[in-house]
Amino acid sequence: MAIDRSVVGEAAAKLLDDLEQKYGEQGSLDAVVLIVAVDNGEADDSVEYRTYDGNGSGLSAWKAKGLLTMVSDNVGT
């Protein structure tokens, strides 16, 4: 079973479209956190993540943790 890259690409494109509608030319990316769960055929999924700053370079640990905390506090609200 190959991993379908189009799923992530389409999800990212939808999010970017939403951001463009919301912020227009005023907005710029400050940070990106990408989280995926991979069904590896075992009981639990494997979770993989990558963090980037707005230029695609590595994101500091404190900023990544802050973003993840914001998401955790707001999931389902």
Q: Is 32 exposed, middle or buried (0-12, 13-18, 19+ CB in 10 A)?
A: middle
- Please tell me the distance from the alpha carbon of residue 64 to that of residue 71, in angstroms, as a whole number: 11
The tally of domains found in the chain comes to 1
The per-residue pLDDT for range 38-70, each reduced to its tens digit, is 988 888 889 999 999 999 999 999 999 999 999
**What is the pTM for the complete model shown?**
0.78
Domain of residue 70, residue span: 5-74
Cβ atoms of 49 and 34 closer than 8 Å:
yes
- Scored b (16 or more CB within 10 A) or e, 47-57 reads eeeebeeeeee
